[in-house]
Amino acid sequence: MRSHTGVFVGNLLFTAVCCSAAPFFLLVGYFAWSEHPGWDWPAVLLAFGLAGTVMIPVLAITTTRQEFPRITHGHRVKGDRTPYGDDTFVMWAPVSQQAPARARLARADVLEASLVRYQPDGESTFTTHYGNYTPDEFTPSIRVRLRVHDTEATDVAAEFEATGEWRVPSLCLSAITAGRLVVLVDGPAEPGARRTVTPDWPRSALLAGTRTCRVTDLDGRTTVVTRRVERQLQQMRISREAGGVAMNGDTIDLRRLDPHTAARYAALAACPEEQAPVSEPGEEARLLADELPGEKAAFGSVGRRWSRRGGVLVRARFLEMRARTTFQDHGPVLDTVLRIQPADGTPPFDAARRLTVPMDYLTVLHRTKEVVLAVSPNGVSYDVDWARTSLLAGITAAKVITPDGRELPLTDRPDTVWALMNLLASHGLSNPGPVLDLRGRRMRAAAGILMDACA
C-alpha cells in the first residue's frame, strides 16, 4: 500500500531534479553577492534561485495532494452534515448532445455495448480544459445496440432496434451497464422510415437508478421514485414540455412548481409501479469495466507498520459527484461528498474531497456507491484504497482457494469480501490480487479464521 510519505518523497525528488537549476543559481548568486554586493546581476540570480528553490517543496506538496487521495479533518463539511439521506446520490453531469425540439422522448434497452476508442494523450498527470465541455480524448466512444420503445409514435412501429457509436460522459457509463437509456427519437412517422436516435446521458443515469430521485407532493409527503421507470419517463416528458423542472439535490418539490405542472406530476402517483431491477437482463453483453482503465481490484496490500500500530479499514459512501474540467488518463477529477463511518463507532461525518475516480468504477455506479478507506493509526486521516474498492464493488470477481485446493467464488458476496479484507489487514497480510490462496506459507497461520469468514 502506497504511503503518503513515500509519494511525497518521490515527488520531492522528481521536482528537485526538474528544478535543479534553481539551487545552482541560488549558490552562484550568493557567492557573487558576497564578493560584489553592489552589483545588480548577483541580486537577480539570488532572487531567482531563492524563488525556484522554495517552489520545489511547494510543488511537491501540491502534486502529492492531487495524486494521493487523503481525507483529513480539513475536508469535513462545515457545520451539520449535508442534508442528504444515507441512500442518496446526487450527480451533476455534463450537458448531453442536443436533439431537434420535435424529437420524442423514449426508453431504450441496451442489448450490446463495446468500447471503440478511449485514447487520452498520456503526456501529463492532470489535464485541465477550460469551458463547459468534455474533451473527446477523455470521453470514451462506445458502440451500442439498442432496442427503442417509441411509445409516443402512433403511426410507426413502437419498438425497433438501432445501432450507433456515441461518446459517453464518464459519469454516465453506469447507465449502459444497467441497460436502460433515455433517448430522443426524431424522424418521419412512416413505416420503414429512418429515425435518428440521440441518447440523453444525464437523464439515462437517472432512469438507470444511478442518480436517486424523490418527489415531494403538495402535502409535503416524499415518495422515492428511483427505478420507477415508466413514472420517471412521464416526469421527464412533463419537465421537457414545461421547459425544465429543477431537482433540489435528488428531490423534485411540487410545491415549487406552477399549479398546472404540479398537478400533472401529482397525477402520476395514482399509478403505483414496482421498482425495475438494478440491472436489466443480459448485463454480460454490455460490461465495460474490463475495457476501461482503473486500478486493478485486489484484497489489498498492507503496510506492516500501519497494521502493527492499529491502522484499520472503513467503508464510506458517495453522496455526491460533480463533473469538472480536469482529467487524468484513468478517470475524471470530480468534486465529491462522502459519508464516512469512523471505526471507533462515533457518528458518521461528511467530507468534501476532490478525487480522481477510476473509469471502471464509474461503470458500476448504479450498483454501488461504496468506497474503502484506510484509516491512519491515530484516526485523523483516511486514504482512498481503489484496489479494495474495485474488488468490493465487484468489478473483478473475488475468489478464495481453500487449504485443500477447493475454489470458493465470492461473486455477489460483498460482506464476505469485506470481512476477509479486514482480517488480512489486522493480521498484516498483503494479497495484491483478487484471488486469496490460503495454501501459501504466509496464509497458514490465519487460514482457519479466514475460512470461518467464508462460511
Please write the tens of the pLDDT for every residue from 303-353: 888 888 888 999 999 999 999 888 988 999 999 999 999 988 888 999 999
What is the reported pTM?
A: 0.86
pLDDT at 101 over 90: no
What residues have CB less than 8 Å from 437, skipping those under 6 apart?
Answer: 401, 443
For position 155, what pLDDT does the model report?
Answer: 55
362-385 burial code (b ≥16 CB/10 A, e <16): bbbbbbbbebbbbbbeeeebbbbb
SS (H, E, C) 82-150: CCCCCCCCEEECCCCCCCCCCCEEEEEEEEEEEEEECCCCCCCCCEECCCCCCCHHHCCEEEEEEEEEC
pLDDT at 189 over 60: no
Please write the tens of the pLDDT for every residue from 374-394: 999 988 899 999 999 999 999
Q: Work out whether strand 214-216 and strand 196-199 pair parallel, antiparallel, or are unpaired.
A: unpaired
Handedness of CA 109, 114, 116, 120 (dihedral sign): positive
Which range in 23-32, 79-88, 317-326 is most confidently predicted, on average pLDDT? 317-326
